[in-house]
Structure 1
């Protein structure tokens, strides 16, 4: 569990970067490999790592997958030129070429498994059959796996992941901030029992091989999760892990109970290990990283100190507030040093609501794991995506990390959904 929450996030990031980023070389000094001409990206990385931009697409790139053959599929949050999934191929010069595209729906989710490419809209999940080269056979005729999923004006994207037993897991985000009678209205209390949890605010499990499913065919695998964008399956312990986006506006909604500073620093962005039947407690509690406790939400009688029920699960890692974790990837490659094997990379999209503090995030973090459990402190792995020294307004951030993928050679790919930039991070001794 992250310690030292009493220190500001800025000081923590600076200290970590001072230790880890000492080998960062300015882009003008980095030489490309023979046959490459791609300019390195100005990303701060630990010693031995380099990053370069393989694509600037001007489209909002979200999830990404890379096949063993090197085909790159990228899900766009909204279609560009009528295409929501781009097909890329890397060239010898280190850049990537868009070789095709398909799908005409908004959304985030993308996953490759068992001869199919699975993709999600904001209300449904589709699959595309692949040939033996992992090329999509039926780009204009996807099969509908799941449809009719709840979609609100907030937290509408549907992240997806598959296990090793033929199941697909879908996040169904909660359509409100905190289940108030009047959403985001000062002093409005919570809806008793929060009945909206019957179809949102959790993870649903479906069969990956059955078509035309909806809620009746699925199982509410876990509940009490406000919104999950980053999720991945841990192969070491055969378990689902998710990253939750924590609730907003504690001071704005309950100024008598929370200061602006507390609102900027609460609640933690949490990583959870999820088992069937788990309840993470939203909207009834939130996790306070300073008290290291589950605290009862003010909408449901909390005062910032009253502890929440012990029935709700604890996070396995707690990150600073409002950083918006949008990508989660367990690294199983061999290119990176041993410390990264089976550990978790988390792509943070960056905050909009840490005022009066600076906006933070816009980075990729790393959590070491051993035997399927966190084994040490989290750290900043890749930073500098924002492109400016300080972000006081969210619009100042030039890039926001979103999706993560591992290449067949062990490289790490990172998407950006502001300018559609795709980065490739490599390690060379």
Structure 2
């Protein structure tokens, strides 16, 4: 469960999304969720993927498999109690529903719920409805599980900025029931006149006329966040600016302790690096919230989730697991890994690799790029990969 905290008075109390079992076996719990045939349904039980799982290194007794193949440009995921996994994309423009109908630990079915959307990276599920974030709007598929074969959406809000630079969005419902929506900076580095840029907002999707409320400023490009199950506080990843060299600045893991805090962009990076173009326009570094942890330069940390299950060893309980998508223009590539980090109150420490091997260090070529993490009901982890177009499943067994 997620509990009441100081931040909860502003952003609401935390909730647990699932009740996790103690199973240690390699199979997912039977889903008991079958779907009728339809034009937008495809059998993917025999789909294959060009992946190199033998290259992936995990801690002892962990195992990685392809849970679903043929999921082009798989990005953010959200999951229902029934085990239905909704997946957004960025370049593909599609939204998928992916289902393990026979409960054997691998997906059998893919529904295409929408096509030709504008960077529908973000997906979130609440009270039977699926929410999808495009660049400038939030759309909703009502009662989606009974409408997989004939999905229709309505527009919840369509006045987010239209700029596509950092315009794709990661979304999630907070413990206060609000939908959290980041708005990235419309540039590598700039000072925008519009306050909504470089922020994290929240939206009351139950309102007939929702209006975004800014809860964090100075956030260059967050594509992942979650709430600490122990305190209810919000934590988010943030991608640092480019063109200051291979090793500066670090990408960040940040902690919000109260609404309205400013995290430094575009004036300061990683807490103590003054921007050469805009640093003099801001205040001293002490005016801004420094990161709780530095993630490495240009590693592009995206999805992050706190592990709340019981399948993994006890040391993973409540640790944050973070997908580092990987650098795009560093002279020597960095990232392309999953790491875990311990969070205690407002501090984060002890980051260590959890899964590596998507990057061939010697050849400097990547065959996959992890994007997001979701926890299944049995405590196993799903990992999306937009480069390989797959979703992996990581399990643990001490036997």
2:179·2:205 contact (CA, 8 Å) conserved in 1? yes
Of structures 1 and 2, the one with the larger relative CO (CA 8 A, separation 6+) is 2
* 1:365 partnered with 2:339: yes
Structure 1 equivalent of residue 264 of structure 2 = 281
* 1:377 partnered with 2:330: no
Greater Rg, structure 1 or structure 2? 1
Structure 2 equivalent of residue 424 of structure 1 = 393
Structure 1 equivalent of residue 254 of structure 2 = 272
2:98·2:109 contact (CA, 8 Å) conserved in 1? yes
Match of 1:198, SS? Answer: coil
Structure 2 equivalent of residue 155 of structure 1 = 166
* 1:227 partnered with 2:221: yes
Distance in 1 (alpha carbons) for counterparts of 2:279 and 2:184: 24
Structure 2 equivalent of residue 298 of structure 1 = 276
CA deviation digits over 1:345-371, x for unaligned, max 9? Answer: 10011012221xx2011111101234x
Match of 2:231, SS? Answer: coil
Q: 1:205 to 1:350 in 2, by over 3 A?
A: same
Structure 2 equivalent of residue 15 of structure 1 = none
Alignment of 1:11-410 (within 5 A): 41-42=53-54, 43-57=56-70, 59-79=72-92, 83-89=94-100, 91=102, 94-104=105-115, 105=117, 106-130=119-143, 134-136=145-147, 140-179=151-190, 194-211=191-208, 213=210, 217-250=211-244, 263-274=245-256, 275-287=258-270, 293-301=271-279, 308-355=284-331, 358-370=332-344, 372-374=345-347, 376-386=349-359, 388-390=360-362, 392=364, 396-410=365-379
Q: 1:246 to 1:40 in 2, by over 3 A?
A: closer
Structure 2 equivalent of residue 28 of structure 1 = none
2:254·2:291 contact (CA, 8 Å) conserved in 1? yes
Match of 2:277, SS? Answer: helix
CA deviation digits over 1:317-338, x for unaligned, max 9? Answer: 1111000111111111111111
TM-score after normalising by structure 2 = 0.80
1:41·1:423 contact (CA, 8 Å) conserved in 2? no
Equivalent residues, number = 350
The runs of 5 or more residues in structure 1 that have no matched partner are 1-31, 180-193, 251-262, 288-292
CA deviation digits over 1:14-56, x for unaligned, max 9? Answer: xxxxxxxxxxxxxxxxxx879x999993221001110101222
CA deviation digits over 1:275-330, x for unaligned, max 9? Answer: 3111001001112xxxxx5222100256xxx9943110011111110001111111
Structure 1 equivalent of residue 38 of structure 2 = none
TM-score after normalising by structure 1 = 0.75
The root-mean-square deviation of aligned C-alpha atoms, in Å, is 2.8
CA deviation digits over 1:78-115, x for unaligned, max 9? Answer: 447xx422333254554312342212313211122233
Relative to its length, the structure with more helix (as a share) is 1
